[in-house]
């Protein structure tokens, strides 16, 4: 790279100087740094978002090696958010990353939603209770939110799309989420989600979800694209 080249040179022709400034001033909060979340985080960093807040209490396990961008032999047993924060800084020295190696629940909620200016929230966790809570917190505060439905037991990234929860089908996690939000009297048409129309494949008697790299990674990239376009208002 020559002295005149910058990391943003290939983005400016698409986003323009005003768009790049808008992204640089944006704060995106991401819950979940696994198969979906980690790819979304990297794409947001490479796209010019100025501040990322990333939340996940998990560490890298050997079972993550087949699909997660944070997972390497050299990163086993390390916190995913710390690896991801360092990776983002290695991509762009000007990015600000707040990493929190904790899980989201009632005891940690306020530190993320109180006294902070957040432009967008992406929720990519597995626990139904806290998925619902994150969505509720965002709606009550007027923060745009995108949720991820199930990506396990699938092999076809071309089946992914951004839709709203009322239009999801085949997915057990999306079904549970719809039911839980209906109890809270929350309109499903107001909740955008990353969704796969591919019915999950599952061997009888196997409880742990199977996963490829293709689908979670593509879901994370699709989510980041939606977030960036929303921030740019295009």
Strands 96-100 and 120-123: unpaired
Q: Maximum Cα–Cα distance for the chain, whole Å?
A: 58
193 falls in which pLDDT band (50, 70, 90)? very high
Instruction: Find the mean pLDDT for residues 105-134.
Output: 93
Residue with tokens 């929350």: 186
Asked if the model's pLDDT at residue 2 lies above 80, the reply is no
The confidence score (pLDDT) of residue 184 equals 92
pTM: 0.96
Q: Supply 5's token pair.
A: 């080249």
- What's the distance, CA 55 to chain centroid? 10
Asked if the model's pLDDT at residue 176 lies above 70, the reply is yes
Q: pLDDT tens digits, residue range 79-97? A: 999 999 999 999 999 999 9
Pick 54 or 207 by higher pLDDT.
Answer: 54
Query: 36-40, 60-64, 149-153, 203-207 — which is least confidently predicted?
Result: 203-207
The confidence score (pLDDT) of residue 208 equals 87
The confidence score (pLDDT) of residue 207 equals 83
227 falls in which pLDDT band (50, 70, 90)? very high
Taking residue 90's Cβ as centre, other Cβ atoms within 10 Å add up to: 10
Q: What is 19-42 written as a DSSP string?
A: HHHHHHT-EEEEE--STTHHHHHH
The confidence score (pLDDT) of residue 150 equals 95
Asked if the model's pLDDT at residue 65 lies above 90, the reply is yes
The confidence score (pLDDT) of residue 204 equals 81
The confidence score (pLDDT) of residue 115 equals 66
Please report, rounded to a whole number, the percentage of residues in the chain having pLDDT higher than 70. Answer: 98
Residues counted in the chain: 234
Please report, rounded to a whole number, the percentage of residues in the chain having pLDDT higher than 90. Answer: 91
Phi and psi angles of residue 53, each rounded to the nearest 5 degrees, phi first: -115, 115
1 falls in which pLDDT band (50, 70, 90)? low
Rounded to the nearest 10°, the torsion over CA 135, 140, 141, 147 is 10
Taken in order of first residue, the domains within the chain and their CATH numbers are: 15-154+210-232 (3.40.50.720)
pLDDT, the chain, mean: 95
Asked if the model's pLDDT at residue 4 lies above 80, the reply is no
């Amino acid at each position: 790279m020559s002295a005149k080249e910058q990391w943003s040179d290939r983005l400016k022709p698409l986003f323009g100087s005003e768009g790049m400034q808008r992204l640089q001033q944006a704060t995106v909060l991401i819950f979940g740094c696994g198969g979906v979340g980690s790819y979304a985080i990297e794409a947001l960093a490479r796209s010019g978002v100025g501040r990322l807040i990333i939340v996940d209490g998990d560490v890298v396990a050997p079972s993550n090696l087949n699909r997660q961008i944070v997972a390497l032999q050299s990163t086993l047993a390390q916190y995913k958010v710390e690896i991801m924060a360092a990776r983002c800084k290695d991509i762009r020295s000007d990015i600000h990353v707040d990493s929190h190696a904790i899980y989201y629940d009632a005891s940690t909620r306020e530190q993320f939603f109180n006294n902070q200016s957040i432009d967008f929230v992406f929720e990519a966790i597995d626990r139904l209770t806290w998925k619902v809570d994150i969505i509720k917190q965002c709606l009550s505060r007027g923060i745009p939110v995108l949720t991820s439905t199930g990506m396990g037991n699938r092999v076809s990234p071309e089946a992914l799309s951004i839709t709203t929860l009322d239009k999801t089908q085949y997915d057990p996690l999306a079904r549970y989420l719809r039911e839980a939000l209906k109890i809270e009297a929350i309109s499903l048409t107001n909740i955008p989600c990353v969704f796969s129309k591919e019915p999950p494949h599952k061997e009888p008697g196997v409880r742990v979800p199977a996963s490829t790299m293709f689908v979670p990674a593509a879901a994370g990239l699709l989510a980041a694209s939606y977030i960036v376009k929303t921030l740019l208002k295009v």
